Amino acid sequence: MFRITTFHELMKGLPRSAFDRMVRERSADKYCKHFGHWEHLITMLYAQLSGASGLRPLEASFNAHASHHYHLGVSSIRRSTLANANDKRPDAVFSDITTWLMGKVSRKLRSDSKELMYLLDSTSITLKGKNFDEWTFEKRNRNTQGIKLHVLYDAQKNVPVWTDFSAANVNDVERATAVPLEEGARYVFDKGYTNYNWWSTINDAKALFVTRFKRNAGLKIKANLEISEDAAGVVLADEIVQFKSKNPGGKRVNEYFGKQLRRITVARPDKDTPIVFATNDFTSTALEIAQHYKERWGIELFFKWIKQHLKIKHFLGRSENAVRIQILTALISYLLVALQHQATKSTQSLWHFFCTISATLFQRPETEATVHRRRRERQLINKKQGRLF
């Protein structure tokens, strides 16, 4: 009786019918004769999950499992074909898959969530050297040469729900305007996303935000809120404020002018200067607001996790297209593992679950479990019967 492999089981998170629909909508395989998008995706996922260090090891290890290719809908690969596909094939389908999976994970995990809280940030991936310099050198900034990955992260369920790319010299807030906003959700981000008009857009969408004021923010105090006893000594001030100017910096119009904001000043034991929060949340306590901002650390841990455990530091190709495809495939791997982790109700951490999948990609867990169960049954029967001779 046929039993599917761990890899095959993992791919149930992305039904072939949904994948084919995304490919058809873009006519992406119109001129592909052999190595289509499905083969491309499976190969790149295998590279992520197996930790292949380059094209040659990837080709050798993937082709060594030829007996399992049929059930995955693929065949043996050639490294030259994969390198050419990474270099020249647009990343649109991989982007669509990532978006579709983020929506699926978000829907599955949100049903039991009491509050929607999203963390917004970006991480830079350094790309220097031959072929990288051709498209990263002119778009570098003083700190980074490479590409930025922008992520909106579900703080409650630890999954990304929106991603985007930009050059290293693009200001984070320029990509923030593309973030989908949900009524009643809370968005937490650092002061690098200071754009009062975007804050106004969040407020108009009936969503909440927590961030930090810049030192030069021109504000006037409208009211002082009472500080509770349990917050005394930690919360230094809790104020209702408004912007002083409608046109800060000349011709720019501040669309938040005339609207109220809340400014919360909190002492930091490890630093001499306090931290000053900005929010449009007038109902949560000052300590709750501070805690929400503290939880922003979750997205930093996510970036650290994918950089440590997925292949987004060493690339199989050096063109911008190849880099984008590999990063998107890393995110697809993360989302598929998260879906499987949720479906199996595993008590393992996501990292240990990921390790288990990586180590057993082409094993058949159900078959092995059946063999183990039958062995245990025979041992119990022999124990009850005793020895005849």
Per-residue pLDDT of the chain (389 residues; tens, 9 = 90+): 446 889 999 999 999 999 999 999 999 998 888 899 999 999 999 999 998 889 999 999 999 998 888 888 899 999 999 999 999 999 999 999 999 999 888 776 555 556 789 999 999 999 999 999 999 999 998 888 999 999 999 998 889 999 999 999 999 999 999 999 999 999 999 999 999 999 999 999 999 999 999 988 899 999 999 999 888 889 999 999 999 988 876 678 899 999 999 999 999 988 889 999 999 999 999 999 999 999 999 999 999 999 999 999 899 999 999 999 999 999 999 999 999 998 888 888 889 999 999 998 988 765 444 545 556 666 666 666 655 44
How far is residue 207's CA from residue 116's CA, in Å, rounded to a whole number?
Answer: 10
For tokens 């108009």, the residue is 204
SS3 278: strand
Angle between helices 350-359 and 37-50 (to 10 degrees): 110
Q: Give the phi and the psi of residue 238 in degrees, each rounded to 5.
A: -140, 110
State how far the Cα of 191 lies from the Cα of 195, in Å rounded to an integer. 9
Give the pLDDT of residue 116.
87
Query: Are 347 and 155 spatial neighbours (Cβ–Cβ below 8 Å)?
Result: no
Give the whole-angstrom CA distance, residue 41 versus residue 35: 10
| pLDDT at 369 (0 to 100) | 47
Please tell me the predicted confidence (pLDDT) of residue 333: 96
Contacts 24+ apart (CB under 8 A), 126-129: 127/315, 127/318, 127/323, 129/318
Question: What is the pLDDT, as a whole number, of residue 55?
Answer: 94
Which residues are CB-contacts of 376 (< 8 A; sequence separation ≥ 6)? none
> E-strand spans in the chain?
117-126, 146-154, 159-167, 186-188, 208-212, 219-224, 235-243, 261-266, 275-279
Pair of tokens at residue 146: 């490479």
Residue 156 is classified by DSSP as: T
